[in-house]
Structure 1
Amino acid sequence: MTHAPHSLTLADVARHLGATLSGSGETPIRGLATLRGAGPDQVAFVTSRAYLKDLAATRAGGVLLHPDHGGSCPVPRLEMNNPYLGYARLSQLFDPLPSRDRAGIHPAATVADDVRLGENVCVAANAVIEAGAVLGSGVVVGPGSFIGADSQLGENTRLHANVTVCHGVVVGKRVILQSGCVIGGDGFGFAHDGSAWHKIAQLGGVVLGDDVEVGSCSSIDRGALGDTLIGDDVKIDSQVQIAHNVQIGDHSALAGCVGIAGSTRVGRHCMLGGGVGLSGHLTLCDGVQVTGMSLVTNSIHEPGVYSSGTGAMDNHQWRKNAVRFKQLDDIAKRLARLEKRRG
């Protein structure tokens, strides 16, 4: 990642973003802040019309915004057609985390003799790396993290504290694994003999593409036979459960508490809102968006927005609607009979 030099000016910021600068570019910039909280050495940003009410009173050294919103800006402005994307890129300049990385293996880490390490790898205290693992250049392994035997991590991948990457997992380049996530744990596979359950050994692995991020305390299970596959640039929020042999296409995003049952396939550029559940062995085509708390029980073959959850309402009204829901089948049959008589 790129870090902001001490002499960074507003003009430097504009060049970094490819933004159009209106006003003086000599102001020194040392950070980012909100419109209300920014001081004269910080850049603020406007990504929604809802925040325009705070623009006139800002004390920021500069404001990042859309060209249509710059008319009432009292300070120098950085204009971009996609200011939210500009904010994302600018945030990387002021991220202090990479500056704390120190290449080398901490004395309290445990690394097997045959582990292959690329250049500038950082392994923190109490990390464990088992035999046969391969870590590319610039990989950072946070304190207390575990990398299982024969796993592979691509260059510039980062494991935060207490991440578990189980055996035989392949992780791409520039992947971020947040604290507490588990990649490659056993899938939920059991056979019942009529009185007890018998565990099915999970013989597959997990493959994460490049530029994937997995949030804290999320789980991606290894495949029962083949691999669980996560495509490039997939973003997975915290507390998400992805079962064995699931496939997720490139550039898809999953919000918190999503649950996907085994062998379901999610296409490219899909978005699953918070708490969405997908039943097993389904297929979602490319470009599907499922709104929060929806349950998907059938495959979706046309791109678009889909919903099934119902919003909260007054409890008295909800109780009446719940009773009517149970009556829908009978009402539908009676309506069909009436239409038949009219026809």
Structure 2
Amino acid sequence: MTANPGRSYTLAELAEQVGGTITGDATVRISGVGTLAGASASQISFLTNPKYTPQLTSTSAGAVIVPEKAAGDAPCPALVVKNPHAAFARIAQCFDTTPAVASGVAPSAVVADSATLGDNVSLGPHVVIEDGAVIGDNVSIGANTVIGKGAVIGNDCVFYPNVTIYHDVVIGQGVVIQAQTVIGADGFGYANDNGLWLPIPQTGSVRIGDNSYIGASSSIDRGAMEDTVIGDNVIIDNQVQVGHNCIIGDHSCICGSTGIAGSCHIGKYVIIGGGVGINGHISICDKVQVTGYTMIVQDITEPGVYSSGQPAMPNRDWRKNVIRLRQVDSLYQRVKALEKLRES
């Protein structure tokens, strides 16, 4: 079912898109989505976190998407599924009101004679498509975006305004890139000669797989000699830095303000929380979850959850802990001396 803002659907029609079973009136009409606390009788909401069960029991939504264990708590028709969040995401797409980034080809767009445009390409004002670039079918490119020489853009991509795609970057199908993001700028490669920084030409590129999503104001640097590689269905949040020659595996998630230094290899199905810092040349295996503000300084070879950030606490307690931390070494030395004395 394609997005059709302004149209309403019966709960039965929506259920056809996601499966599951319906309890209550399957003919109730839905024209939008909302939160459990704020939804109206014409909207559908969902429950995944048991914390919000009280909101479920009092919701004014016309219908809700719930797991089986919560079906009896709904005061309205319910769509019972295994993964309510995923079902909600698919249903919400039917009501997406996001405007198109471009419609047709703007008169001010500049397309090089040697560039190739597929069918049904839309280019916003002042878009620049440089020599040898190849743009696939059904691609929409927002205002002021630049597609560099020799870049290849797959079918069904959407680039928002002010995106910059450098030369020879290869992007797969169905990729969405939000505003101000830069793909393929030089990696941070320099050699020091007696205090003088010498730039190392970055002759690799960037390859991004199908159906990946990249947030606003993020940067993915090109490789020094080999390519930086982003796999299929990778989601990258806003203001993320991916250094040169990194490899990020399929279906991974990188949250906002994370910084990944060069030559890191991140596996598949990895989730990295916000504000994480990853040293260069680190390898992280598949199915790892890193919580926010963690610092990764060595390889992770076993799946699981990893943390190092310190949660907030009252300032007074924090100051005490800092003082005690400074005393750890002297305490260690005292214990060590006592152990030696005891042994003698």
Scaled by the length of structure 1, the TM-score of the pair is 0.94
CA, structure 1 residues 327+57, in 2 after alignment: closer, same or farther (shift >3 Å)?
A: closer
**For residue 250 of structure 1, what is the amino acid of its counterpart?**
D
Matched, 1:75 2:114: no
Within 2, Cα distance between the matches of 1:280 and 1:214? 21
Quote the offset at 1:97 in angstroms.
Answer: 3.0
**Distance (Å, rounded) in 1 between the aligned partners of 2:275 and 2:37:** 33
| Cα 1:37–1:312 shift into 2, 3 Å | closer
> Residue 42 of structure 1 aligns to which amino acid in structure 2?
Q
For residues 19-30 of structure 1, the aligned pairs below 5 Å read 19-30=20-31
What residue is the counterpart of 2:263 in the other structure?
Answer: 263
Name which of structure 1's ranges 182-191 and 50-59 shifts more when overlaid on structure 2: 50-59
Correspondences of 1:225-304 after superposition (within 5 Å): 225-304=225-304
Q: Which residue of 1 aligns with 2:220?
A: 220
- Aligned to 2:26, the other structure's residue is in SS state coil
Q: Which deviates further from its counterpart, 81-90 or 112-121? A: 112-121
How far does residue 180 in structure 1 lie from its aligned partner after superposition? 0.8
1:202 is matched with: 202
* Partner Cα separation in structure 2 for residue 181 and residue 85 of structure 1: 27
Q: In structure 2, how many angstroms separate the alpha carbons of the residues matched to 1:179 and 1:113? A: 26
Q: CA deviation at 1:57?
A: 3.0
In structure 2, the partner of 1:40 is 41
Aligned to 1:84: 85
**Mapped pair 1:18 → 2:19:** yes
**Counterpart-to-counterpart distance in 1, 2:118 and 2:304:** 43
Counterpart of 1:264, as a letter, is C
Shift of 1:309: 1.4
Aligned pair in 2 of structure 1 residues 314, 58: CA closer, same or farther (>3 Å)?
closer
Assess, with a 3 A threshold, how the Cα gap between structure 1 residues 300 and 330 changes in structure 2: closer, same or farther: farther
Deviations 1:137-194 (A, max 9, x none): 1111111111101011111111011111111101111111011111101111222222
> How many residues are aligned here?
342
Give the percent of matched residue pairs that are identical in Structure 1 and Structure 2: 46
What are the superposed Cα offsets for residues 240-292 of structure 1, whole Å, 9 maximum, x if unpaired?
11111111111111111100111111111111111110111111111221111
- Cα drift, residue 314 of structure 1: 2.3
Q: 1:11 to 1:276 in 2, by over 3 A?
A: same
Structure 2 Cα separation of the partners of residues 323 and 39 of structure 1: 53
Q: Can you give the 5+ residue segments of structure 1 that lack an aligned partner in the other structure?
A: none
How far residue 28 of structure 1 moved from its aligned partner, in angstroms, is: 2.3
3-state DSSP class of the match of 1:40?
coil
Residues 218 and 237 in structure 2, CA contact (< 8 A), matched pair in contact too: yes
Instruction: Give the residue type in structure 2 aligned to 1:287.
Output: K
**RMSD (CA atoms):** 1.9
Separation of aligned partners in 1, 2:235 and 2:332: 42
Contact 2:101–2:124 (Cα < 8 Å) also in 1: no
2 CA distance for matches of 1:316 and 1:143?
A: 51
Q: Which runs of 5+ in 2 are unaligned?
A: none
Give the secondary structure class of the aligned counterpart of 1:217: coil
Question: What is residue 306 of structure 2 aligned with on the other side?
Answer: 306
Shift of 1:334: 4.1
Question: Which position in structure 1 is the counterpart of 2:62?
Answer: 61
Work out the CA distance in 1 between the residues paired with 2:305 and 2:50: 24
Corresponding residue of 2:136: 136
What is the one-letter code of the residue matched to 1:3? A
Give the equivalent residue in structure 2 for 1:173: 173
Query: Paired residue for 2:10?
Result: 9
Q: Is the 8 A contact 2:190 2:200 kept in 1?
A: yes
Counterpart Cα distance in 1 of 2:110 and 2:19: 45
Shift of 1:328: 2.7
CA distance in 2, matches of 1:212, 1:338: 59
